[in-house]
Structure 1
Amino acid sequence: MRGARFPTGEERADAASLETAQRLSRTLASVLHPGTPSSPGTPSSPGTPSSPGTPGSGVFGEGGTAFVAPGRAARETAVALGLARVVVPELAEPDYGSWRGLPYEEVVKADPESFARWLADPCAAPHGGESHAEAADRVVRWVESLRETPPGELARPDAPSPEPGTSGRSGPGSGGRGWVVVCDVTVVRAVLGHALGVGPLVAARLDIAPLSLTQVSASREGWRIGYVNRKATP
């Protein structure tokens, strides 16, 4: 736990991760959609994401669009992958209230009882922000709303607007192939927990690797998990 902090949403993606993401843009489509030929793409210089609102031209092309968490690291990663961005507030990391940006160790020393309660009770929010359960429910409500979204249709009346300068056209979801979402680990865990029918404290035990791929698909019974922690090789 040493060195770990409660996120603020303004943390930047590290340069090495962005460079890897830019290389992944060349092969990501073939991993997400087997049978899709890879393309070299034209990523920007390693470690330097495109300017806001200017997606790169990776394998998805200029029209490639992803739902993206509002956190800075997620937005930078989407740019490095060559994707236009539709930012979705519901995909944000939990609101940690007064603990935002603080080191875990500092919170434990200052208020060990509240920290222990936060770890043990999914409905506890001693920091004044969101509880584990509230954050997970927020994500789940948004995911469930996709069931009513025709494949490839990003710009329905109640859909979030694309960032200025990005494309609102259908992306990799067109043709019924599903959506691409770029988000943080807590969101991935919330979706997997929902698919498995377990609570957020159990889902928190799942280790999700950086820049890994997770696939879930809707079914009549709920959601099916295709894979977790799949790596795309640059």
Structure 2
Amino acid sequence: MLVTLIAAARSSSLDDARFGDNRPLDAAGWASVERAVPALAPLAAAELRYCSPTTGSRQTGDVLGLAPLAQPALRDCDMGRWQGLTLREATAREPAAVEFWFGDPRSAPHGGETLIAFVGRVGGWLDTRPAGPHGRVVAVTEPSVIRAAMLYALKAPPFAYWRTEVHPLSVVSLSGGGGRWNLRLG
């Protein structure tokens, strides 16, 4: 099976990125996804097309012609009381808690989901994808979900999550299934 993940177009500047952001695409996001249509539209041939429940992911998928089905398992990490805050705001309010969160992937000082649980949830979604006749799946989701999927596929240590960057409209493909995934680049 081949699962292709597309990072949603941007809904805000990087400095204004918020935990659990559900804002619609901004003008730059709309323009970038429209420019990406020629390169990404062929992905609409996948038998199964999904998106995270966020507005920006849905809009990105719709512009690409995917008509994606929202999947709750593809939602961003539950950030508890930090939901809606920027990292800068969370750090200003709870500097020790943010430092602890970065240092321990089993911690959830925000009262939400741990990094370990988040990666496991995304991995569980990957492992339960039904294979279509050609085994092709495409999903538009937040960069954080793609980072979690890559960690799961590579069985990388949790701290690698903080060393992985996924930009808007980046495309990552994973081949395999059932807990045995390979990262496909290019």
TM range (shorter): 0.7 to 0.9
Structure 1 stretches of 4+ moved >3 Å: 2-6
Find 2:75's aligned residue among 82, 85, 92.
Answer: 92
Larger strand fraction of residues = 2
Larger radius of gyration: 1
Distance 1:221 1:81 in 2: 29
What corresponds to 1:6 in structure 2?
18
Runs of 5+ in structure 2 lacking a partner?
Answer: 1-13
Alignment map for 1:21-100 (pairs within 5 Å)? 21-30=33-42, 60=44, 66-100=49-83
Deviation at 1:17, TM superposition (A): 2.1
Amino acid at match of 1:150: A
Q: Which whole-Å deviations, capped at 9, do the CAs of 1:96-124 have from their partners, x for residues lacking one?
A: 11111123223222221111100111011
Alignment map for 1:1-234 (pairs within 5 Å)? 3-30=15-42, 60=44, 66-146=49-129, 149-151=130-132, 175-218=133-176, 222-227=180-185
TM-score by length of 1: 0.66
In angstroms, what is the RMSD of aligned CA positions?
2.4
Deviation at 1:219, TM superposition (A): 5.7
Q: What SS is found at the alignment partner of 1:203?
A: helix
Aligned-residue identity in percent: 28
Deviation at 1:220, TM superposition (A): 7.8
Distance 1:95 1:221 in 2: 23
In structure 2, relative to structure 1, the CA distance for the partners of 1:94 and 1:221 (3 Å cut) is closer
In structure 2, relative to structure 1, the CA distance for the partners of 1:65 and 1:80 (3 Å cut) is farther
TM-score by length of 2: 0.82
Distance 2:128 2:101 in 1: 29
Runs of 5+ in structure 1 lacking a partner?
Answer: 33-59, 152-174
Maintained 8 Å contact 2:68/2:139: no
- Counting matched residue pairs gives 173
